[in-house]
Amino acid sequence: MTKKPFGTLPQKDLLTVAQLGPGDVETIFGATTAIKSDRAAYSEALRGKRLAMIFEKDSLRTRFTFDVGMQDLGGSAVFMDHRDVRLGSRESLKDMARNLERWVDGIVARVFKQRALEEIAANCNIPVINGLSDHVHPCQALSDFFTLTERWGNVKGRRLVYVGDGNNTCHSLLHVAARLGAHITVCSPEGYEPNARVVSEAMLMARESGSDIQITNDPELAVKGADAVYTDVWASMGQEDEIEERSSIFNDYRVDEEMMALAKPDALFMHCLPAHRGQEVTAGVIDGPNSIVYDIAENRLHVQKAILVLLMGDKR
């Protein structure tokens, strides 16, 4: 079967949601719904196309979903991890990018530095997709909000409360919420708030979409009336030596049953995974009836297939 048409994205790359214009997230979600509801119809959408997957850090979900996603679309993926590649050490990122564009049709990269992604993208004519960096995790947040859209029909006017480290995942959640008109509160310990530039980017988008954005250090106040509560690890990949220090700083920011009781009665629990039960979330919450963590993980596949088709498919 041949693919059915849907909208296009004007961008070459997806390095951050801040690059997406108004309507682009909806385009991705529309394509996701089409692809998710009829897998066979898109089985030739990327026939013969190849994706390079360059990972400087560990991964389960991102790696599998991009690889399986390419296979579902009729293409293939080649994986290179941190044991094979130390970005920029054997040769310049520019040379790497210029080689890769001769062999493959797209690149997904998980990197320590957002700057590395930008340099790769600037030096090749093929799409580059961010599979997580120190700065943002766009595919994750798009999948999170796609899952909420499936649940609620519309996220506009609903409030997501993110409790924990103002990290890469949090930054992309701010961007997507602000684009879609969802309200978002970020609640972190002092000194671990989201990056000020990301908050300004989100505030700017919020002016158009009507999102209300709150940044606070008080978990009780933050979670009151939440429609969904989200958390992520207290120490991200690359911050392993801070685990002990962070464990005491973040102790009041654990999402437990008591905290969830402050949110709306049917409030959803979200986490990008991997999770540490007993640290940022209790087992009772993540394994409880309102947790949607595996639905989100499933949707990583569908959302990324949409992104792959929109960026690597034939442009109409």
Footprint of ligand NVA (CB under 6 A): 132, 167-169, 232-233, 236-237, 272
Measured at CB, which residue is nearest to ligand NVA? 236
φ/ψ of 28, rounded to 5, equals -65, -40
For residue 277, what are the β-bridge partners? 281
Question: Is residue 111 within 8 Å of 56, Cβ to Cβ?
Answer: yes
Assess 59 for contact with ligand CP (CB under 6 A): yes
Residue 106 or 164: which CB sits closer to ligand NVA?
164
Which residue, 80 or 237, is less far from ligand NVA as judged by CB? 237
CA distances from 260 to 92, 113, 221, 228, 231 (A): 48, 34, 12, 9, 12
Q: Give the residue closest to ligand CP by C-beta.
A: 62
Smallest distance, Å, CB 174 to ligand CP? 17
Q: Shortest distance, CB of residue 277 to ligand NVA, whole angstroms?
A: 16
Distance CA(132)–CA(265), nearest Å, equals: 32
Residue 216 CB, shortest distance to ligand CP, in Å, is 25
Quote the DSSP letter at residue 50: E
Minimum distance between the CB of residue 134 and ligand NVA, rounded to whole angstroms?
A: 8
Binds 32, which of ligand CP, ligand NVA, none (CB < 5 to 8 A, cut-off by type)?
none
The pair of structure tokens assigned to 295 is 């639905």
**Which of 3, 36, 49, 61: binder of ligand CP (CB under 6 A)?**
61
The entry of ligand NVA, ligand CP, none that residue 9 binds, CB within 5 to 8 Å by partner kind? none
**Active site amino acids:** 110, 137, 140, 232, 272, 300
**Min CB(177)–ligand NVA separation in Å:** 17
Crossing angle for the helix pair 24-37 and 168-180, nearest 10 degrees?
100
- Among residues 293, 218, 308, 250, which one has the least CA distance to residue 35? 308
Q: How far is the CB of 212 from ligand NVA (least distance, A)?
A: 24
Contacted entry of ligand NVA, ligand CP, none for residue 60, CB cut-off 5 to 8 Å set by kind = ligand CP
Six-digit token string for 283:
């087992």
Pairing of strands 50-55, 76-80: parallel
Q: Which of 15, 25, 272, 312 binds ligand CP (CB under 6 A)?
A: 272
Quick check: helix, strand or coil at residue 245?
A: helix
- Report the site for ligand CP in 197-256 (rule: CB under 6 A): none
**Residue in 133, 123, 183, 164 with CA at minimum distance from that of residue 17:** 133
Q: Which residue has the tokens 């196309």?
A: 49
**Do the bridges between strand 228-231 and strand 159-163 make them parallel or antiparallel, or are there none, so unpaired?**
parallel
Residue 140 in contact with ligand CP, rule: CB under 6 A: yes
Told to check if 273 binds ligand CP by CB under 6 A, we report: yes
Considering CB distances under 5 to 8 angstroms, the limit depending on partner class, which of ligand NVA, ligand CP, none binds residue 56?
Answer: none
Phi, psi of 129 (to 5 degrees): -115, 135
Nearer to ligand NVA, 259 or 272 (CB): 272
Listed in order, strand segments (DSSP E) in 46-139 are: 50-55, 76-80, 106-110, 128-130
- Exposed/middle/buried for residue 276 (C-beta within 10 Å: 0-12, 13-18, 19+): middle
Task: With contacts defined by CB under 6 A, name the span among 59-67, 83-91, 173-181, 190-198 that binds ligand CP.
Answer: 59-67
Binding site for ligand CP (CB under 6 A): 59-62, 132, 140, 272-273
